Structure 1
């Protein structure tokens, strides 16, 4: 539990030797003057830090940082990661670098690059940490503008923070700011590694605050000891909480979107609660932490598999009575989601109505014998007499279903353009901008948008299908992808929610656009959206651009959806194909010119080809790209091919270890006793290391588009079997790839050849992807050159 101290009480309990203090500073394209001021404030501390660990998150500012620290006489350790980092990962890397350089009993502080510390920032915190029961100290802060002018004297008051939050309160909303924190080295050890996340969904300060609250006391100093600089480049920024009570609009669709957004917040809280519980339990089991130091009882509502979430409802009432209506709303929403989770699970367990399901089953039985239904029986057990025994039963009264519910809503825009934008832009239509839902195809589209922004275009990214669950996380996701190759590009990109609902924020059902906008569609239904907007509003450009990443009609059975997808290829557009293989397939169908734009897969071959492979050992390891839910990955055929292969080669569990990566599924046992174990989706960072320990691979894709795994496996030195499709033959890229016809017999025979083939050579691992299309930068250059005249001509006319 956090204990709040007034300024007069927050003093040293007794004199003691000054502890060593390490400061972790994340550096990302800093303003030199602001960095100078911050480092000067570090050097000017009453209790001067003994070490400054600077993590160069932008990969470029190391020299500037080293020079600035040297001018102020600070010992500085420069940490430059292999790749650009967001704030949470940068601070995690800083902690990992600081631990070997600091002694037990040392203290650690986080620092932003553009704030300034008051001289007593460290000394006041260190004095309170002399109490061994205190794990973490944090303070208030003044909010200042870019020039240092005070905007608000108290960050606590501005954000109406709880003075003494518990674990659940922190999961409703974090109240501990990283740049005001000072904590023990032991807490840093406990915190590493940080829980994983796709994009940025939680920050380092929340994770540290949760662990500190679960394992000790957190003390709050009410006096501002930091000037927190508020400007357009803040990763998060201070937010006023005085007008944060919004109810969802009274419509079924709006309520659905509200529930989805709240469920996203609940999922994050539940995830972090389980991570805290697991981390604390590991520390207790490993004797890193005494059992008396751990109290995670407040997390029980998140840890229970069943429960109505009544503690959240009690929290809501408590917070409402203490004047925190915004936090009460969050707690209430978590109660609703918890109760709804249980209700939904019960409904799923019972199916679509137990009586209706039983009745449907009985109808099938009677259809088998005697072929007609028996007389109806009422609830009292009496026969229901009809005037005409042979007359069919009257149809039950049913409410008519609106015709609109039969129409695929994805094909029509859910928003109305508000034509008040000052200049035209490229409008990128993507199904979602949520980081956890932005898989390879959507990420590729976003990368193209970022590349066009870097070349001087204004980009409007619109989520057409799903509301942005966390706009800040979506923004951080886009900025993170832009940070490496295209720093500064994000400033020309705006994100919009094109789905009607409360979660869409200020855009609501209207989005600011320009009649000279050029659309870039990224899926067949977004092509329908683009065409609808162009025709409905008589936009200047009748033709849109279309990013085609597979032959999408084949994703569906023959029918309406298949026809809708195929109809998108008859619209007026300029295509951009993901690989020449896909382009050639379309050209063969007469759907495009043979020289249409096509780009190669964005596979970093060196990331896989540079790894060192150890000699193979028994049992040899075979990896399957296993995704049972994705039809085009042909999981059943892969299993049949493996059954034939293991039988033909007499391979049992002592001979081959079968592993499946992709989507989690149940184990599969073969007739020889060999067993396929599913590892699910591997972390991106661990994937190359995993492949270096694989001998054989099996990766299928029944599509003209080449999937990435066969190429990544071959570059890693894996002898991999895949299937042909029309003109697609990946064996042309490397002898390490064996392409076979998509039949179980042919695939099994290819696996047998791969089993006895010699190891993959270094030359085979160096794969040239140029036959598959233009490099992404070249593609974007060509696309930019095509778009500039369209946008500039309309801008000139306006």
Structure 2
């Protein structure tokens, strides 16, 4: 039996383990994953009191529910016999005495892969809220594979299955944050390889309380009329597209997993039944099966599921039609137009008049009143002036001053886990740190709607770690595009006149300035988390100017590294002693790994992100070509891999090939670096990127570029900083190639020159905020 423990209530854990000990078919062992890193002694004590053998799994870092159960299943597979049965358990539910025995009896049928049951919904004290979770949520009792992808009907803590299903499920598909849960993944694999059987009686009391990772829901989410206005309709479509993307992702993962199992001989070729997944697997499908599903579900009076299926048809069809439009309009016509333009520059050199589809001459109005040109016939609607303004700069919500106390209003582009990359994650960590120090924090997503608010909150709570329980009580999450409610002028968010804004990107600085000027906030100055020199992200023009304008506003800066602060000070944009903090790199995480002797060609890793200009992918390729040629290195001497963003392989003149691995799972990254000898990681920016520091701590000789005052070579002898030119980078690579392995003592990096530790910076920031965010000061 696998149990995931995350800050369990002792009384509820006691009741749960007592119900497990009271099973008529008693489990041989509990595999307890200590997801919060601290509750192991409590779990062991309670298990021992009830005579239950307990094996603890102690991860290095805190885990969310899917990762905790994945770790538990891996341990259960390792410590159990091949014919073992595995059950999943939450830490606070109550099992009825026959829960395991009833399931085990049904699993004697070899076609059944997984058993689950109904559950009685109870409150924190165990009082009944509803006799059936299936009736409460109107769950389907025999869903198909596609039905499961519309809505999961299998609750993990009611399941029982064979070890072979656990083996097939591992490793779980990668995900950032939480967008699907372990029980859905297991249910999909079980349905694809056999049958899932439902015991229609409640065999578990499903406890509902404020700390549930996932809870029962009652009633369907309905669309409101205002959602059909254009901005809100776009948000609705994006949320539905997110749901479709998840279904498509899981469908492909299921197909890949069962195909691999057949190839490896773990599954008989005739066992998988994945035909229901075909609409998700087709590259050019119109999604008609989803429309058929919608009609079927509607005829069975399952309106919400019918709506989900219909929306998936809409997204699937829209995907194909949008692609065709791109290919046949902008793609085809744009390419033809560009070709014609080049032709006309050859002879006679002047472009002829434009001709519309009706054969009429199209000419722009001319100011020449003596020789007026014929006016074009109207064939296109004029664009409104607002269409030329970057909408990110404009607040999408209106503050409603009903909040009881002031807060730090943290403006981040997104709160979706899969989109919260390093810069956004750092901003969220600062918000969590301020909440842990007693401040109320409102995290507001300015650009993208929250696809799954529960997943967003779980993501923030996961980052909160040990400070989570208290800090999360002071953190609220808001979507700026949908608001807390809808007012006459659009979305509304409850705020306080004493709120202080914290901007985290140049356009959120514009939002902060607009809000503080437009509404009666008491603090006109906002905080600005500056993590790069953002005007350099763009070509000279409007966006570049908008980004630069954000540095002339009334704000207090907080810089990510002294290197970036010094660049701003050199430009006269800040004081030389402005608050700055060092990168949140766990040096020890990379430095403690053991490097093994190299057998075969030495390995060089490139931080390769072709789509990101500041990572200078073309220059990196040119530098590698020069290095390989100068050293005469072929495939028997060196192997090249690229990590970051997936791209096409690159062939070099010496016969060496660069293969792209794309983005690596965070948990696997340290082990990967231990197998790398050299690295090339470029960043044309005053801000140091993390990869060179992580690589050096792993014992990799890494070449990077200098930029102004930035020289990462001062931090470690393992880092070689060169001028950002192909010849200089190639020479640095040759120097790294000739150098010996990095000595063990050089793997410990001192990041002190880059600024205060993050916690120390938050302490200083917190001290400055207390006078501003006190309710009595705001009311004065």
TM superposition score normalised by structure 2:
0.95
Corresponding residue to 1:71 among 45, 49, 63: 49
- Which residue of structure 1 lines up, in the alignment, with residue 365 of structure 2? none
CA distance in 2, matches of 1:147, 1:412: 47
CA distance in 1, matches of 2:360, 2:382: 31
- Which residue of structure 2 lines up, in the alignment, with residue 546 of structure 1? 528
Cα deviation 1:74-109 (Å, max 9, x = unaligned): 111111111111111111111111123222322111
Q: Answer yes or no: is 1:621 the counterpart of 2:603.
A: yes
Corresponding residue to 2:113 among 115, 126, 135: 135
- Which residue of structure 2 lines up, in the alignment, with residue 461 of structure 1? 443
DSSP-derived class of the 2:454 partner: helix
CA distance in 1, matches of 2:68, 2:486: 30
Corresponding residue to 1:108 among 79, 86, 89: 86
CA distance in 1, matches of 2:463, 2:140: 35
CA distance in 1, matches of 2:51, 2:356: 91
CA distance in 2, matches of 1:255, 1:458: 32
DSSP-derived class of the 2:444 partner: strand
Closer, same or farther: CA 379–440 of 1 in aligned 2, 3 Å: closer
Cα deviation 1:21-71 (Å, max 9, x = unaligned): xx2111000110011011111111122212111111001001100010111
- Which residue of structure 2 lines up, in the alignment, with residue 9 of structure 1? none
CA distance in 2, matches of 1:647, 1:617: 23
DSSP-derived class of the 1:105 partner: coil
How far off is 1:668 after superposition?
A: 1.8
- Which residue of structure 1 lines up, in the alignment, with residue 462 of structure 2? 480
CA distance in 2, matches of 1:51, 1:793: 53
- Which residue of structure 1 lines up, in the alignment, with residue 366 of structure 2? none
Corresponding residue to 2:134 among 142, 156, 173: 156
Q: Answer yes or no: is 1:684 the counterpart of 2:669.
A: no
DSSP-derived class of the 1:550 partner: coil
- Which residue of structure 2 lines up, in the alignment, with residue 24 of structure 1? 2
Cα deviation 1:518-562 (Å, max 9, x = unaligned): 111100111111111111112011111110001111111111111
CA distance in 1, matches of 2:725, 2:655: 23
Alignment of 1:178-577 (within 5 A): 178-242=156-220, 244-245=222-223, 249-352=227-330, 354-355=332-333, 358-359=336-337, 361-372=339-350, 394=376, 396-484=378-466, 486-500=468-482, 509-577=491-559
How far off is 1:225 after superposition?
A: 1.2
Quick check: 1:241–1:326 contact (8 Å CA) kept in 2? Answer: no
CA distance in 2, matches of 1:619, 1:647: 16
How far off is 1:278 after superposition?
A: 1.4
How far off is 1:348 after superposition?
A: 2.4
CA distance in 1, matches of 2:731, 2:603: 18
Structure 2's unaligned 5+ residue stretches are 363-369
Quick check: 1:245–1:329 contact (8 Å CA) kept in 2? Answer: no
Corresponding residue to 1:33 among 11, 24, 38: 11
How far off is 1:653 after superposition?
A: 2.0
How far off is 1:794 after superposition?
A: 4.1
Quick check: 2:5–2:32 contact (8 Å CA) kept in 1? Answer: yes
Quick check: 1:658–1:677 contact (8 Å CA) kept in 2? Answer: yes
How far off is 1:328 after superposition?
A: 0.2
Closer, same or farther: CA 641–241 of 1 in aligned 2, 3 Å: same
CA distance in 2, matches of 1:338, 1:149: 44
Structure 1's unaligned 5+ residue stretches are 1-22
Quick check: 2:497–2:778 contact (8 Å CA) kept in 1? Answer: no
CA distance in 1, matches of 2:128, 2:756: 51
Tell me which moved more, 767-776 or 281-290: 281-290
Quick check: 2:402–2:494 contact (8 Å CA) kept in 1? Answer: yes
Closer, same or farther: CA 383–789 of 1 in aligned 2, 3 Å: closer
Closer, same or farther: CA 396–26 of 1 in aligned 2, 3 Å: same
Closer, same or farther: CA 661–504 of 1 in aligned 2, 3 Å: farther
Tell me which moved more, 272-281 or 430-439: 272-281
CA distance in 2, matches of 1:391, 1:274: 58
Closer, same or farther: CA 66–345 of 1 in aligned 2, 3 Å: same
CA distance in 2, matches of 1:324, 1:106: 38
Tell me which moved more, 678-687 or 494-503: 494-503
Q: Answer yes or no: is 1:593 the counterpart of 2:571.
A: no
DSSP-derived class of the 2:720 partner: strand
Tell me which moved more, 487-496 or 240-249: 240-249
- Which residue of structure 2 lines up, in the alignment, with residue 6 of structure 1? none
Quick check: 2:620–2:726 contact (8 Å CA) kept in 1? Answer: yes
How far off is 1:400 after superposition?
A: 2.0
CA distance in 2, matches of 1:742, 1:796: 50
Alignment of 1:657-696 (within 5 A): 657-696=639-678
Closer, same or farther: CA 506–180 of 1 in aligned 2, 3 Å: farther
Closer, same or farther: CA 204–248 of 1 in aligned 2, 3 Å: farther
Quick check: 2:410–2:442 contact (8 Å CA) kept in 1? Answer: yes
DSSP-derived class of the 2:33 partner: strand
Quick check: 1:24–1:55 contact (8 Å CA) kept in 2? Answer: yes
Closer, same or farther: CA 446–505 of 1 in aligned 2, 3 Å: farther
Cα deviation 1:598-637 (Å, max 9, x = unaligned): 1101111111111112233442211111111111111111
- Which residue of structure 1 lines up, in the alignment, with residue 367 of structure 2? none
DSSP-derived class of the 2:104 partner: helix
- Which residue of structure 1 lines up, in the alignment, with residue 697 of structure 2? 715
Cα deviation 1:472-528 (Å, max 9, x = unaligned): 211111111112454432222111100149999999711111111111110011111
CA distance in 1, matches of 2:598, 2:98: 59
Closer, same or farther: CA 622–631 of 1 in aligned 2, 3 Å: same
CA distance in 1, matches of 2:569, 2:494: 37
CA distance in 1, matches of 2:355, 2:101: 83
Tell me which moved more, 282-291 or 743-752: 282-291
